[in-house]
Amino acid sequence: MSRHDEIRSRLLRLVGPQLHAVDLTHLFLWLRERAFGSAAIREIGDFVAHADEREKGPVTTELRDFFLHARLMHRLGPNIDLLSVPADFAAVLSRNFDRLPREVTSRETGMKPKEARRILDALLSKFGPAPDGGATLVHGSVMPPEIGVLQCVLRYYNARAVFTADHVTRDFLMAAQKNKLIEGRGDQFKEKLKPLLAMFTLQAMHRTTILLERQWRATLNAGTHQGELAVFASTVFEAQRPGPRHGIQAPIFTTGIPAREWCDAALDVGEYVVWDKPIEIGPKGKLTALILPET
């Protein structure tokens, strides 16, 4: 049997009556290099291959940008003094602009995104190093159009789910079709695959750390968000140095899948629950706590 035939057999067994959760590991490790442009499939495969810490990828990029912006907003405080801002002020705002949905940029600024970007770049170019190690406005003054764009970029303070269970299911079937693991689009497999792929994604991401910057990390934990299976990212940071540490948490993978239907009694479920214990897909096809022998 060729490797391709083996992977095809594992996929067909996965949608059959008897579940072998290990098939998902083999499938994602094989598909990560054959994802046909799907960032979701490659990313989940990378989480399987590099389970301890991630330094790159769509999840890392989104969390890095979001948490850096969150820290910046805490450090700026409610009354922003443009003559005294953190050293990463310009870099963080530039990256946060790229996260803005185009419709938000247009609505909040009254400009096309390309024009808003030009104005933001002009504003940020006016900042330079300050004697205290931060940054300050060193060239000219802030013009009214720049204030509008700046307020828009500062206010947008949302973490986005990098992908959803529907997204993963769609891309998984696309990759399976293009790799000739299935015939047609595989619509007949969607209902069976969606919860399995979602649970496997939770298992793959759970308890992984994300490197945000040197000596600053976030942790991923599976759990429930609005009663549905999800993965959360959490971290802590100092608003001022030295000063109290602030914690922040945001969902990074959402599923739309009711947790009570797909978790056994070993896992707590509710509106908002974050699990710390190891998890796995059990023999009955539900998420369960991994019971490890005492050491």
Lowest mean pLDDT among 156-160, 173-177, 194-198, 255-259: 156-160
> Per residue in 11-63, pLDDT tens?
999 988 888 999 999 999 999 999 999 999 999 999 999 888 999 999 999 99
- Convert the pLDDT of each residue in 144-182 to its tens digit: 999 999 999 998 877 888 999 999 999 999 999 999 999
SS3 274: strand
* pLDDT tens, residue by residue, 228-254: 999 999 999 887 766 678 899 999 999
Average pLDDT over residues 185-190: 89
Q: Is 90 exceeded by the pLDDT of residue 86? A: yes
Domain borders along the chain are 3-32+161-289, 59-155
- In contact, 201 and 231? CB cutoff 8 Å: yes
The pLDDT, as a whole number, for residue 243 is 67
Q: How large a percentage of the chain has pLDDT more than 70?
A: 98
Query: Three-state SS for 286?
Result: coil
Whole-model pTM? 0.91
Q: What is the pLDDT of residue 110?
A: 93
User: How sure is the predictor about 68, in pLDDT bands with cuts at 50, 70 and 90?
Assistant: very high
pLDDT at 241: 66
Note the residue count of the chain: 295
Residues 6+ apart with CB under 8 A from 211: 53, 54, 55, 60, 217
pLDDT of residue 141: 86
Residues 6 or more apart in contact with residue 104 via CB below 8 angstroms:
152, 156
pLDDT of residue 31: 97
CA distance 8 to 15: 11
